[in-house]
Amino acid sequence: MKLHNNNINNNENNNELNTNENKSKPKKKKFIDREKAKELTLKAAKALDDKKLENITILDLDGVTTLSDYFLLATASSSPQMKAGSDAVYKELKEEGVLPYAENDNNPESVWYLSDYGFLVVHIFTEEGREYYNLDKLWHEAKKIDLL
């Protein structure tokens, strides 16, 4: 079983007042097992579906790569929809105490928004970006997971 280390703001175990000293402390880490990773990935996919993104695909990368456990791919019809989808996933996972390790610039001219949560990498494309980068084909060995 893989364990994942993700950023988390852990206020449950830290009852100290928020002082300058506390602000300089590194963020606490949380381990996420594979079952929890799949649950959070499905929640992220639902958040994208709620924002009406299309062609939502979850790729299970187990046995294919060690980069991540899951890729979540989706297509947006516009830049504002890409941002709305990215923001919805961020909000959903933040409620679970998970923050991204990294994101690309995600500017309005982008054809690809990327957010890396460690166990999950979210790829939101315009139609042109999805066709050009063709991650579905690149990662064809990965098992596709049905959205529930």
Please indicate, yes or no, if residue 126 is contained in any of the structural domains.
yes
Give the count of domains, the chain: 1
Please indicate, yes or no, if residue 82 is contained in any of the structural domains.
yes
Closest CA to 124 of 93, 69, 82, 81: 82
Looking at residue 102, its pLDDT comes to 85
Please indicate, yes or no, if residue 123 is contained in any of the structural domains.
yes
Please indicate, yes or no, if residue 33 is contained in any of the structural domains.
no
Average pLDDT over residues 115-123: 96
Looking at residue 148, its pLDDT comes to 59
Looking at residue 1, its pLDDT comes to 33
Identify which has the larger pLDDT, 10 or 71. 71
Please indicate, yes or no, if residue 14 is contained in any of the structural domains.
no
Please indicate, yes or no, if residue 103 is contained in any of the structural domains.
yes
Please indicate, yes or no, if residue 26 is contained in any of the structural domains.
no
Please indicate, yes or no, if residue 5 is contained in any of the structural domains.
no
- Cα 80 from chain centre: 18
Looking at residue 13, its pLDDT comes to 40
CATH number of 97's domain:
3.30.460.10
In 20-118, alpha helices (H)? 20-23, 34-50, 79-95
Chain segment 23-57, per-residue pLDDT in tens: 444 444 567 899 999 999 999 999 999 999 999 99
Determine the structural domain holding residue 93 and report its residue range: 54-145
Chain segment 62-95, per-residue pLDDT in tens: 999 999 999 999 999 999 999 999 999 999 999 9
pLDDT of 10 over the 70 cut: no
